[in-house]
Each structure stands twice: as structure tokens, then as C-alpha cells.
């Protein structure tokens, strides 16, 4: 991805604004492990969550967490799996335990089954988990198949060896299993191209959930492999339900100019759709087409002026992408970024602009030291999205590495890595 994920930004924002520093991690971990031994069934999940909050600093707790996967309470087992995933360090014994938990159908109070928490955690341990997961795609249990696909999806592009098996699983009659296989193909990305024949069929499936996941997978595969699906994607812009329309538009934007001029008029028409997320997806797709979609300029300008349009940042970013001109888009994006409603929309727009967003760097650098934590975080995220062209901000960001809040420091460090990649 070209920009810092907004989910990451939001998660860090929540934790950093409530944290002004953390005690010495080893000492804190010792206290948590000690309290875990005497904690009641109701208290254990909270303690496990706190251990997970320490991230890689809690490496020494992995063995204890692995044992907690055998706890009698599904809430504790689910919390233990989540904590292992948040630590994010591959451990052979933990991987085996998590794999065994794929058959754990215990229900958590917060919702979901333990097995899905285990799958999410195993995927977060990285590509070393993949060789154990691929054979599980052919398991007798649908639950185990789903968990294996989910974990492989969490691994992403480095799980490309699983594509043939996931391709077969995407033909599954069971809807939930089929959809999670398609999700994994999407997460793997361009290497999932061999699955295009099946995805072209599932794009027309009677289950709209399958349709929109197919749109997402096809968009992630991109051109040239995805080009045969373009006519169907265009058709879905008018025949699909709102979720399908939105994801079909996203897919066309990801495929880009290779999709041809035939996509522009249907996307422009969607700017008047009654559903806001559909309008937003359409204008973002036009922006992703860049100057190729210059014929849509007037329509995007008109959409930007419509008060009910709501996706102001998306429209402003698209106008900038299509015309190559920062004005009037820059003013709108900075206004949204400093506002109370959806500031992340502006940061995402800067992420789509990438290096073209360089004219915003000076102002975003000022906002990176804002006393408003939301403005500060999304300004930093915007600079990360612009990438190396935001190099002028590095002195300011480097000073923030001395901030007392660890979460802010971590976020800034990640942003710097996007702006100044290591060789």
C-alpha cells in the first residue's frame, strides 16, 4: 500500500491519547503474569489483553499464553490467542497450539468463536505459519478450512503458495467458506491471478456477499489479469445492490486506466447515487484513473459543491488526481483534516495522491505538532501517504521521536519509514 493504513492510525490514536508513557515493559510484564496466576475467570481476559498491549515486549509470556489456550473459559482462550497475535513473534509451540484451536468452537461473550481468534493470531505470526496452513484448506471440517483461509489472508502476499488450494476452496458451496477463500485471494493480491476464471463466475453469484468479495479480489489482482472482468464490473455499477456497486467501483479504480474509457461514464453516473458510500467509491475510482478520467472533471467539481455529497475529501482528492492541480482541493483537504467529522478521509486522500501531494507538505508539517491529537495523527498519516516527497518534514518528525507517549513515537517511526525507506 502507498499509505499508512487508517485502521493503524485510528488504533494508535485511541491508545496514544490515553497513554503518556508506559512503565518499564519487563517489570510491567512480570506484574501482569503474576496477577494472571491469581485472576478469576472474569479477570483473566482483561489481564491477557494488557499483556497483548505490550506487543513484542511481552515475548517472554508466549509460553504462558499458549497454555492459556487450554483454559476452560472460551473468553480466556480467545483473549490468549489475541495476545499471541499482538505480540507478533513466531513461536513453534504457539503455532501448533493455535492450529489445534482451529477446532475450538467455543463462543466468546464479546462474540465470535475461539477458532477465529486463533486463526487471526496465527496469520499475524507471519509467513512461517503458511506451510502448516495450506494442508488445512483440504480438511474435512468446514470450520478448519475457514480458519486456514483466514490465517493465510492475514499473512497476505507471502502466502502465494496457497493460491491453487484457495482457488479450489472459492468454488465451495458453503457460502462462509467460499467467501473467506475469496478474501484470502484478495489479501494475497496479484499472485492470485490464476483464480480469475472462478472469480469471474463468483462475480455473478446470487449471494451479494460473494459478489462484493469477488469485486475486492479482482481489484486486488489488478491489470492485466483482471481485464476480462471489466464488462461485468461495469454492469454491476447499475445492477448491484449498494455494497456491490461500491466494491465494483473500487475494483475499477484499482484496475486503473487499463480498464478503458468505457468505465468513465458509468462512474460519473454513480456520483448521483442516493447512497453516500457508493458516491464516495465512484469519485475515488475516478481519481484513481488520474488524467485518463479528465473528462469527468466538471462532474467531480459539481459533486464537490453539493452539500449532501458528504465525501468532500474524496472528491477533493479525486479532482487533484484528475487535473494535476492542487487548488481548490488542498484547501478542502486541510479543512477536513482539521475538522471533527472524518479527518481520516483527508489522510486517505493524501495517501491516494502520493507524491502528487507535495504542495501540502509545509502545512501538514505544521499540523504534525498540533495540540489537537486527532489533527496531529492524521497530519502525520498524510505525510506518510505522500512518501519520499515529504522529506522536508523529517526534522519535525524526528523531534517527535522524543515524545513521552510510546504509541506516538511508534506511529512517527512508522511514518518516517514511509518517507525515508531504508535501503
Domain ranges, ordered by start, for the chain: 245-325, 326-423
Q: Does 245-325 match 326-423 in CATH topology?
A: yes
For 245-325, CATH number out of 1.25.10.10, 3.40.50.620, 3.30.870.10, 3.40.640.10 equals 1.25.10.10
- pLDDT at position 8 is 46
Asked if 228 and 221 touch (Cβ cutoff 8 Å), the reply is no
Question: Each residue of 323-379: pLDDT tens digit?
Answer: 999 999 999 999 999 998 889 999 999 999 999 999 999 999 999 999 999 999 999
Contact 162, 131 (CB under 8 A): no
Residues of the chain with pLDDT below 50 are: 1-22
Asked if residues 215 and 233 have their Cβ atoms less than 8 Å apart, the reply is yes
* pLDDT for the residue 110: 81
User: Whole-angstrom Cα distance, residue 313 to residue 349?
Assistant: 6
- Spatial distance between the Cα atoms of 115 and 147, rounded to a whole number of angstroms: 7
Q: What is the pTM of this model?
A: 0.90
**Helix ranges (DSSP H) in 156-275:** 163-169, 175-188, 196-202, 208-221, 230-239, 242-255, 264-270
The predicted pLDDT at position 311 comes to 85
Question: Do the Cβ atoms of 82 and 120 come closer than 8 Å?
Answer: yes
With 0-12 CB in 10 A as exposed, 13-18 as middle and 19+ as buried, what is 262? exposed
The pLDDT value given to residue 306: 80
DSSP string, 356-400: GGGGGHHHHHHHTT-SSHHHHHHHHHHHHHHGGGGGGGHHHHHHH
Measured between alpha carbons, how far is 177 from 366 in angstroms, rounded to an integer? 48
CB 270 within 8 A of CB 277: no
What φ, ψ does residue 113 adopt, rounded to 5°?
-100, 155
Nearest in space to 400 (alpha carbons), one of 14, 2, 16: 16
pLDDT for 422 equals 64
In the 8-state DSSP scheme, what is residue 342?
Answer: -
Per-residue pLDDT, 26: 80
pLDDT of 309 reads 59
Domain 326-423 has CATH 1.10.8.80: no
Amino acid at each position: 500500500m502507498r499509505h499508512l493504513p487508517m485502521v493503524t492510525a485510528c488504533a494508535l490514536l485511541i491508545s496514544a491519547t490515553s497513554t503518556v508513557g508506559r512503565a518499564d515493559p519487563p517489570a510491567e510484564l512480570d506484574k501482569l503474569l503474576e496477577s494472571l496466576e491469581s485472576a478469576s475467570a472474569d479477570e483473566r481476559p482483561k489481564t491477557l489483553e494488557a499483556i497483548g498491549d505490550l506487543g513484542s515486549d511481552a515475548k517472554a509470556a508466549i509460553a504462558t499464553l499458549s497454555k492459556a489456550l487450554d483454559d476452560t473459559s472460551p473468553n480466556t482462550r480467545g483473549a490468549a490467542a489475541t495476545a499471541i497475535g499482538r505480540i507478533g513473534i513466531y513461536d513453534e509451540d504457539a503455532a501448533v497450539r493455535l492450529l489445534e484451536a482451529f477446532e475450538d468452537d467455543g463462543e466468546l461473550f464479546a462474540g465470535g468463536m475461539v477458532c477465529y481468534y486463533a486463526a487471526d493470531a496465527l496469520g499475524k505470526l507471519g509467513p512461517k505459519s503458511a506451510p502448516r496452513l495450506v494442508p488445512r484448506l483440504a480438511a474435512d471440517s468446514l470450520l478448519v478450512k475457514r480458519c486456514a483461509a483466514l490465517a493465510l489472508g492475514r499473512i497476505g502476499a507471502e502466502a502465494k503458495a496457497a493460491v491453487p488450494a484457495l482457488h479450489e476452496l472459492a468454488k465451495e458451496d458453503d457460502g462462509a467458506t467460499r467467501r473467506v477463500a475469496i478474501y484470502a485471494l484478495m489479501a494475497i493480491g496479484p499472485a492470485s491471478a490464476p483464480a480469475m476464471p472462478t472469480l469471474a463466475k463468483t462475480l455473478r453469484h446470487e449471494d451479494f456477499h460473494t459478489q462484493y468479495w469477488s469485486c475486492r479480489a479482482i481489484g486486488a489482482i489488478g491489470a492485466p489479469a483482471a481485464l476480462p472482468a471489466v464488462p461485468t464490473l461495469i454492469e454491476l455499477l447499475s445492477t448491484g445492490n449498494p455494497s456491490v456497486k461500491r466494491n465494483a467501483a473500487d475494483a475499477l479504480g484499482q484496475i486503473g486506466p487499463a480498464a478503458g474509457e468505457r468505465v468513465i461514464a458509468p462512474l460519473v453516473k454513480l456520483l448521483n447515487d442516493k447512497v453516500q458510500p457508493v458516491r464516495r467509491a465512484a469519485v475515488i475510482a475516478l481519481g484513481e484513473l488520474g488524467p485518463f478520467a479528465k473528462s469527468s472533471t466538471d462532474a467531480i467539481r459539481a459533486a464537490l459543491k453539493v452539500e449532501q455529497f458528504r465525501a468532500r475529501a474524496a472528491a477533493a482528492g479525486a479532482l487533484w488526481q484528475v487535473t494535476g492541480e492542487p487548488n481548490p482541493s488542498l484547501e478542502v483537504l486541510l479543512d477536513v483534516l482539521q475538522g471533527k467529522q472524518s479527518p481520516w478521509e483527508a489522510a486517505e486522500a493524501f495517501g491516494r495522491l502520493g507524491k502528487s501531494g507535495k504542495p501540502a507538505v509545509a502545512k501538514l508539517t505544521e499540523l504534525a505538532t498540533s495540540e489537537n491529537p486527532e489533527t496531529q495523527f492524521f497530519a502525520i498519516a498524510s505525510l506518510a501517504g505522500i512518501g519520499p516527497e515529504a522529506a522536508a518534514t523529517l526534522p519535525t518528525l524526528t523531534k517527535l521521536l522524543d515524545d513521552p507517549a510510546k504509541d506516538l513515537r511508534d506511529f512517527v517511526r512508522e511514518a518516517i519509514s514511509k518517507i525515508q525507506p531504508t535501503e
